[in-house]
Amino acid sequence: MPPKKRKRTEKEIIIENYNLDEVKATKEWTEKTFKILNTRVKGDTLEEKAVQILRAQNITTTMTKAHLLKEDEGKLRLRKIIGDGGIDLFGEMVIQNQTLQWIAQCKMTKQLENGTINEMKGLLSSRPNTIGIIIHGGNKSRQIESMIETANSDIFVCHIEELHMIRNQIEAKSIQQGIRTIAMTRMKVEEMEEVEFDIFGRITKAKRIKNVDIQTWGSQSK
């Protein structure tokens, strides 16, 4: 009997590599995908293509949704979609020897709505050392660019046909201006005496503080 094929581990699946020239999206791919009538299938098609393109750039990528299927009269039918909290993809990449976290939303619509930018801002507001990537297949308004500039963390809006250049774009931004992300600090104090706090929980006065350990996550632009 031939030896059994080894089942890939979850980590191997997440970091699976593809040939970038073979998987990058073309105009023909976009036109064909837009012809898909089922909205869910159209969105899934965009996400799957994005995963291939990102992994081909050595960017660790995970899909958040899991489709649970059941067999009904010889056909597989969708039973449930596990919620993703608004995030379609997430992962990490190493930029200038620093590990950077990222989250992404995928929108296969003719026009990218401004509300998507606001939603991404909200998702990033509690995630230190994390940038956002919005992957779309249609058009975007000029207003979106100004909305991105006011975000506390960097948001990269990228058409699927240009996604094969996203790593270069992020690296260029890191070198020229630095990557903008939310910074978060955790402070551990062993002992405090006669401490006063303001309404935001910040220490305003203390007679004695012993053994303070401060950790910071995230970074700010140069």
Rounded to two decimals, what is the model's pTM?
0.75
The predicted structure's pLDDT at residue 191 = 74
pLDDT(124) > 60: yes
Q: How far apart are CA 151 and CA 131, in angstroms?
A: 10
Q: How far apart are the C-alpha atoms of 148 and 117, rounded to whole Å?
A: 7
DSSP H helical ranges for 57-157: 114-124, 143-149
Residue 3 pLDDT class (50, 70, 90 cuts): low
pLDDT at 80: 44
pLDDT of res. 27 = 96
Check whether 32 has a pLDDT greater than 70.
yes
pLDDT at residue 207 in the model: 73
Q: What is the pLDDT of residue 112?
A: 94
* Residue 90, strand partner residues: 62, 103
Q: What is the pLDDT of residue 18?
A: 84
> What pLDDT shows up at residue 195?
73
Average pLDDT of 2-27? 74
Give the model confidence (pLDDT) of 146-192 as tens digits.
Answer: 899 888 899 999 999 999 999 999 999 999 989 999 876 666 666 77
Q: Which residue has the tokens 């050392």?
A: 129
Pairwise CA distance, residues 149 & 157, whole Å: 12
Q: What distance in Å separates the CA atoms of residue 126 and residue 182, rounded to the nearest whole number?
A: 8
Residue 142's pLDDT is 85
CA dist., res. 176 & res. 93, Å (int)? 18
Q: Which two tokens stand for residue 125?
A: 């507001």
pLDDT class of 69 with cuts at 50, 70, 90: very low
Structure tokens at 38: 């089922």
* pLDDT at residue 88 greater than cutoff 90: yes
Average pLDDT, the chain: 82
Q: Name the strand (E) or helix (H) holding 60.
A: strand 60-63
CATH architecture assigned to 10-65+80-177: 3-Layer(aba) Sandwich (3.40)
Domains of the chain, by residue range, sit at 10-65+80-177, 185-216
Instruction: Check pLDDT > 90 for residue 70.
Output: no
- 102 within 8 A of 90, measured Cβ to Cβ: yes
| pLDDT at 78 > cutoff 50 | no
